[in-house]
Copies of this chain bind each other. A is one copy, B any other.
Amino acid sequence: MKPVVTITYCPKCGWLLRAAYMAQELLTTFEEDLGGVTLKPAEIAGSYQVFVDDFMLFDRKREGRFPDIKELKQLVRDRVNPGKSLGHSDRKTEG
């Protein structure tokens, strides 16, 4: 089973579009690596969390911000396919 990314978002906050954008970026970059991306309305206001299977990659409340897309791809890559190059989005020195 390939890993599945879940993006949990606060629907009342209007974050569906952001979550759907990130889902499409991940599915484009990791087309061969992921079993899918699930968009999941959160029960908790202000929640925006990204998981690979059960492992939490990013939590907006913990970080105090949203992930940027380059950072998110690096986090997913490190978890699902560490040898994969992300091309121009890959600047390990920033990690």
Q: Which of A's residues lie within 8 Å of B, judged by CB?
A: 4, 6, 11, 16-17, 20, 23-24, 27-28, 31, 34-41
Contact = CB atoms under 8 A, between A and B. Distances in A.
Chain A: interface secondary structure? mixed
Contacts of A37: 38-39
Contacts of A40: 35-36
A39 B23 contact: yes
B38 A36 contact: yes
A37 B34 CA distance: 15
A72 B40 CA distance: 19
Contacts of A31: 11, 41
A73 to B, nearest CB: 16
